[in-house]
Amino acid sequence: MKHLRVAAAVLNTTPLDWDGNAKCILQAIALAKANGVKILCLPEQCITGYGCEDAFHAQAVHETAAKLLCEILLPATTGICVTFGLPVLCRNGLYNCAAVACDGKLQGLTAKRFLAGDGIHYEPRWFKAWPVGQRSVVELGGQSVPIGDLHYTLNGLRFGFEVCEDAWVANRPGAQLSRHGIDVILNPSASHFAFGKQQIRKQFVIEGSRAFGVTYVYANLCGNEAGRAIYDGGAIIASGGALVAEGPRFPFTDGYVLAATCDVDRTRLDRARTVSFEPDQDDNDALQVKIECDIQLYDRSATGIYCSLTRPEPLTVDAETQKLWDFARAVALGLFDYLRKSRSHGYALSLSGGADSAACACLVSAMLELARQDLGDQGLREKLGYISQLQNCTTIAEHMKVLLTTAYQATENSGAVTSNAAAKIAEAVGATHHQWSVQPLLNHYREIAEKALARPLDWAHDDIALQNIQARVRAPGIWFLANVENKLLLTTSNRSEAAVGYATMDGDTCGGLAPLAGIDKHFLRRFLRWLHSPDKPALPGLTPIAALSYINAQQPTAELRPPDKLQTDEDDLMPYDVLDCLEKAAIRDKQLPTEAHQTACERFPQYDAQRMAFWVRRFFTLWCRNQWKRERYAPSFHLDDENLDPRSWCRFPILSSGYANELAELAMSVR
């Protein structure tokens, strides 16, 4: 038996943070070496950071990345083979590369063959896809280095790459690598979080290890790297069709190393037994790089699985509960990294006493609890060490007093129910809470408008304007408080509101970050009921919040009309579950009004066709009318393929016909 110790690193990188990224890389290499690892796979573009965007076009970025790589090689890679991710310019084409360094020397650069160009990814904007079967040479660090569709031989061990997207396509490079007799496939990835995605990753890693007869090592980024995309980690090692090891997801640390021992003789024998396996016997393989070094690869005493981050993982749960947990952990991690990487001193929040703002407050609380779970008290102080007010804090409650400032901003249309709910939620999460009235400001603006128009304003004629001004007069106060305390203002709009424009620009949309804009209101209400429930399985950082009873007992309302109007969101729009259904049908599945109407009627037979047609018309009309609002929303986190953010996912024209013909066709069909 040939026991080979391999490892995948999960790293929390930041675009263009040369020192910070180098620190993470060196820590990972040291951990791997200490655990007897011989081959370590680091994530995609780990030197520069994956989310550099158009900075990838800057020559200085390529040069600095190459310089940093050469500085890391010695002594860090002595006695170990390490793969690094960086951009490399070759014949005026920029390539996404995995650099192989062994025993202090750069050996070769394998360029990515399939670029991620859909969804939130824009790799073809910056990189070229490397042509299959081609090889070239570049000058890097004062030496000539082979680059291309390369694989490697090290003391008889053969290894190659599938770089992130390479493994997601039908024509995977792994099949070709297998014919070359590859023993290990390394996958350096920058694979963003989405609901249910980890299960898909495991499938292609495990199946790749079986079909190609190899040990498969999958490395990934973690954390909120560049603002919108959250990376969940989840390193995976599989061999011969079996899962060997899986690392934790959503770590708040700088990363971790997942190591395991594989049996090279076993995977070789499995292929020899496979009738369909047809190896390439060309001894003059132009794509092979032979590495000359004295690393002792095999160690019979090397056994077991090692992970440098240990923490309790949740029990196996149903898919719906898994989605609730993943939502909480993904957004909490996104908030934590946004906070520390932007050097903000906390978050400010206009706490209305409704579901959306309550969810934001609870997620900030979960952020702190989950960060403490991974980092410990000392680690938490170090991560947030730039916030001087935290240095004497010893409890989570003391930290929350510093990190979250909330305010309930009343008008004459506000009620005791929402005021009390806001106060109870703020107390439950430990926020510093304020309450004030904006009615004097509202009266003043109304007087200005009535004088300019030379007529009184009333709800019969000026409904929308009178609602919107209430939301807008609330913005300056909470902005002011956030500025004074150097905090980041959270906007509380959810995806359902974004879909139909049910939000006031420069009012409740004010803020620097929209943590809920990637999720629909129907799901959010389930999340709050679940978070309130004492019966859910325990998850550190997500203990039940009893005060949510004050939120869950209410019907969602903007509370902008006089109390006798009995305003609710669903009366203004439609039932939220119907809105969610129409959003999926129209935006995710690209159905036209008649098709969306049929889908919704089948899903909700309790509503007649005329009523559903009314809601379909309302949805499509509001969707088209409010694209300009979606263009202006604060940055949000990407959570799934139903995202509406036009800057990272869902493009739609600001001006259009508004589906006039299609809506007319629907009206004719339901007469």
The Cα 266–Cα 377 span in angstroms is 45
The mean of the pLDDT values for the chain is 94
According to the model, what pLDDT value does residue 277 have? Answer: 82
Q: What is the set of domains in the chain, with CATH numbers?
A: 3-307 (3.60.110.10), 323-438+474-554 (3.40.50.620), 567-671 (1.10.10.1140)
Closest by Cα among 508, 438, 422 to 471? 508
Instruction: For residue 432, list its beta bridge partners.
Output: 405
Q: Are 236 and 247 in contact (CB under 8 A)?
A: yes
Cα separation, 87 vs 417, whole angstroms: 56
Q: pLDDT tens for residues 195-243?
A: 999 999 999 999 999 999 999 999 999 999 999 999 999 999 999 999 9
At 29 the three-state DSSP class reads helix
Q: Is the distance from CB of 44 to CB of 218 less than 8 angstroms?
A: no
Only one residue has tokens 């009318």, namely: 625
User: What's the pLDDT tens digit per position in 400-456?
Assistant: 999 999 999 999 999 899 999 999 999 999 999 999 999 999 999 999 999 999 999
- For residues 72-77, give the mean pLDDT: 94
Beta-carbon count within 10 A of 612 CB: 25
Residue 91 Rama label (left phi>0; alpha psi -120 to 50; beta): left
For residue 119, the model assigns a pLDDT of 82
**Structural tokens at position 253:** 């640390």
Amino acid 245 reads A
Q: Which of 37-51, 201-215, 262-276 has the lowest mean pLDDT?
A: 262-276
Average pLDDT over residues 500-509: 92
- The separation between CA 406 and the C-alpha centre of its own chain, rounded to angstroms, equals 26
pLDDT above 80 (res 253): yes
Q: How far is CA 43 from the centre of its chain?
A: 16
Least confident of 158-172, 422-436, 541-555: 541-555
d(CA 562, CA 369): 39
pLDDT for position 537: 63
Measured CA angle at 598 (ends 595, 599), to 5 deg? 85
What is the residue-wise DSSP string for 101-161? EETTEEEEEEEPSS---STT--HHHH-PPPPTT-EEEEEETTEEEEEES-EEEETTEEEEE
Q: Which amino acid is at 326?
A: D
pLDDT digits (tens, 9 = 90+) for 368-410: 999 999 999 999 999 999 999 998 898 889 999 999 999 999 9
| 541: confidence class by pLDDT, cuts 50, 70, 90 | low
Q: Tell me the per-residue pLDDT of 644-662, one tens digit each, with 9 for 90 and over.
A: 999 889 999 999 999 999 9
Residue 263 has pLDDT above 90, yes or no: yes
The per-residue pLDDT for 246 is: 96
- Tell me: pLDDT of 564 over 80: no
pTM over 0.85: yes
> Does residue 313 carry a pLDDT above 90?
no
Token pair listed for 104 = 């202090």
Q: Count each helix (H run) and each strand (E run) in the chain, helices first.
A: 22, 21
Report d(CA 240, CA 264) in Å as an integer. Answer: 10
Residues 464-487: tens digit of each pLDDT: 999 999 999 999 999 999 999 999
Q: pLDDT value at position 556?
A: 77
Non-local CB neighbours of 486 within 8 Å, separated by 6+ positions: 344, 345, 346
Is 39 within 8 Å of 216 (Cβ atoms)?
no
pLDDT at 544: 87
3-class secondary structure per residue, 368-409: HHHHHHHHHHHHHHHHCCCCHHHCCCCCHHHHHHHHEEEEEE
Give the whole-angstrom CA distance, residue 438 versus residue 432: 19
